[in-house]
Amino acid sequence: MFKNDYILDMVESLGKNIGKSLTGKKEDGEKISIENLSDKDMLMIILKKMVIDKKYNEAENTLFEIVNKIKDIDFTEVGEWFYNELSLKKDEDLLENNFLRDEIKQGLKDFRAINSRRRG
Protein backbone atom coordinates (compact mmCIF):
# COMPACT_ATOMS: atom_id res chain seq x y z
CA MET A 1 0.00 0.00 0.00
CA PHE A 2 1.19 3.50 -0.68
CA LYS A 3 -0.42 5.42 2.18
CA ASN A 4 1.41 8.37 3.67
CA ASP A 5 0.60 11.70 5.30
CA TYR A 6 0.22 13.51 1.97
CA ILE A 7 -2.30 10.99 0.70
CA LEU A 8 -4.17 10.97 4.02
CA ASP A 9 -4.43 14.76 3.94
CA MET A 10 -5.67 14.72 0.34
CA VAL A 11 -8.28 12.05 1.01
CA GLU A 12 -9.53 13.77 4.17
CA SER A 13 -9.70 17.13 2.40
CA LEU A 14 -11.49 15.63 -0.58
CA GLY A 15 -13.93 13.84 1.74
CA LYS A 16 -14.74 17.09 3.52
CA ASN A 17 -15.29 18.92 0.25
CA ILE A 18 -17.50 16.18 -1.15
CA GLY A 19 -19.51 16.19 2.07
CA LYS A 20 -19.93 19.96 1.87
CA SER A 21 -20.98 19.78 -1.77
CA LEU A 22 -23.51 17.02 -1.24
CA THR A 23 -25.12 18.46 1.86
CA GLY A 24 -24.80 22.15 1.03
CA LYS A 25 -23.48 22.71 4.55
CA LYS A 26 -20.65 25.08 5.34
CA GLU A 27 -19.15 23.05 8.20
CA ASP A 28 -16.75 20.16 7.79
CA GLY A 29 -18.14 17.05 6.11
CA GLU A 30 -17.53 13.48 7.15
CA LYS A 31 -14.05 12.10 6.77
CA ILE A 32 -13.46 9.20 4.44
CA SER A 33 -12.12 6.19 6.31
CA ILE A 34 -8.85 5.49 4.55
CA GLU A 35 -8.77 1.93 5.85
CA ASN A 36 -11.80 1.13 3.69
CA LEU A 37 -10.21 2.36 0.46
CA SER A 38 -8.34 0.09 -1.92
CA ASP A 39 -5.13 1.20 -3.60
CA LYS A 40 -7.16 1.54 -6.79
CA ASP A 41 -9.68 3.82 -5.04
CA MET A 42 -6.92 5.90 -3.54
CA LEU A 43 -5.17 6.33 -6.88
CA MET A 44 -8.45 7.42 -8.46
CA ILE A 45 -9.01 10.01 -5.71
CA ILE A 46 -5.46 11.32 -6.03
CA LEU A 47 -5.67 11.60 -9.82
CA LYS A 48 -9.06 13.33 -9.65
CA LYS A 49 -7.63 15.88 -7.22
CA MET A 50 -4.58 16.46 -9.43
CA VAL A 51 -6.77 16.89 -12.53
CA ILE A 52 -8.95 19.39 -10.66
CA ASP A 53 -5.76 21.23 -9.65
CA LYS A 54 -4.55 21.03 -13.28
CA LYS A 55 -1.41 19.11 -12.31
CA TYR A 56 -1.60 16.92 -15.40
CA ASN A 57 2.09 15.99 -15.67
CA GLU A 58 2.32 15.18 -11.97
CA ALA A 59 -0.83 13.09 -12.23
CA GLU A 60 0.51 11.13 -15.18
CA ASN A 61 3.79 10.52 -13.37
CA THR A 62 1.86 9.31 -10.31
CA LEU A 63 -0.25 6.98 -12.43
CA PHE A 64 2.81 5.33 -14.00
CA GLU A 65 4.71 5.20 -10.71
CA ILE A 66 1.89 3.37 -8.94
CA VAL A 67 1.07 1.07 -11.86
CA ASN A 68 4.72 0.04 -12.08
CA LYS A 69 5.05 -0.36 -8.31
CA ILE A 70 1.86 -2.31 -7.53
CA LYS A 71 1.77 -5.10 -10.07
CA ASP A 72 -0.99 -7.27 -8.61
CA ILE A 73 -3.82 -4.75 -9.15
CA ASP A 74 -5.51 -4.01 -12.47
CA PHE A 75 -5.51 -0.23 -12.87
CA THR A 76 -6.98 -0.30 -16.42
CA GLU A 77 -10.18 1.51 -15.42
CA VAL A 78 -8.22 4.24 -13.63
CA GLY A 79 -5.83 4.84 -16.53
CA GLU A 80 -8.59 4.85 -19.13
CA TRP A 81 -10.57 7.34 -17.02
CA PHE A 82 -7.51 9.57 -16.58
CA TYR A 83 -6.67 9.83 -20.28
CA ASN A 84 -10.32 10.24 -21.23
CA GLU A 85 -10.60 13.09 -18.73
CA LEU A 86 -7.52 14.77 -20.21
CA SER A 87 -8.86 14.34 -23.75
CA LEU A 88 -11.92 16.39 -22.76
CA LYS A 89 -9.74 19.38 -21.81
CA LYS A 90 -9.36 22.30 -24.20
CA ASP A 91 -6.02 22.69 -25.94
CA GLU A 92 -5.51 26.05 -24.22
CA ASP A 93 -5.98 24.47 -20.80
CA LEU A 94 -3.53 21.69 -21.60
CA LEU A 95 -0.94 24.14 -22.97
CA GLU A 96 -1.27 26.48 -19.99
CA ASN A 97 -0.45 23.52 -17.78
CA ASN A 98 2.48 22.22 -19.84
CA PHE A 99 0.66 19.26 -21.37
CA LEU A 100 0.12 18.53 -25.05
CA ARG A 101 -2.70 16.64 -26.74
CA ASP A 102 -0.07 14.35 -28.30
CA GLU A 103 1.05 13.45 -24.76
CA ILE A 104 -2.45 12.14 -24.06
CA LYS A 105 -2.31 9.81 -27.06
CA GLN A 106 1.23 8.68 -26.26
CA GLY A 107 0.51 8.28 -22.55
CA LEU A 108 -2.56 6.16 -23.22
CA LYS A 109 -0.58 4.03 -25.68
CA ASP A 110 2.21 3.55 -23.11
CA PHE A 111 -0.30 2.80 -20.34
CA ARG A 112 -2.06 0.17 -22.45
CA ALA A 113 1.28 -1.41 -23.38
CA ILE A 114 2.24 -1.72 -19.71
CA ASN A 115 -1.14 -3.27 -18.90
CA SER A 116 -0.93 -5.75 -21.75
CA ARG A 117 2.55 -6.87 -20.61
CA ARG A 118 1.29 -7.24 -17.03
CA ARG A 119 -1.59 -9.46 -18.11
CA GLY A 120 0.92 -11.48 -20.09
Tell me: pLDDT of 58 over 60. Answer: yes
Question: Do 104 and 83 touch, CB atoms closer than 8 A?
Answer: yes
Residues 73, 18 within the same domain: no
Tell me: pLDDT of 27 over 50. Answer: yes
pLDDT at residue 4, rounded to an integer = 54
Domain that holds residue 64: 38-119
Query: CA-to-CA distance for 50 and 31, rounded, in angstroms?
Result: 19
Looking at residues 30-50, what average pLDDT do you find?
84
100's torsion region: left (phi>0), alpha (psi -120 to 50) or beta?
A: beta
Tell me: pLDDT of 49 over 80. Answer: yes
Query: CA-to-CA distance for 93 and 100, rounded, in angstroms?
Result: 10
Tell me: pLDDT of 25 over 90. Answer: no
pLDDT at residue 61, rounded to an integer = 97
- Taking Cα atoms as reference points, which of 77, 89, 3, 102 lies closest to residue 46? 3
Residues 51, 23 within the same domain: no
Instruction: Please give the mean pLDDT across all residues of the chain.
Output: 83
Residues 102, 53 within the same domain: yes
pLDDT at residue 1, rounded to an integer = 46
The total domain count for the chain is 2
**Residue 73 DSSP symbol:** S
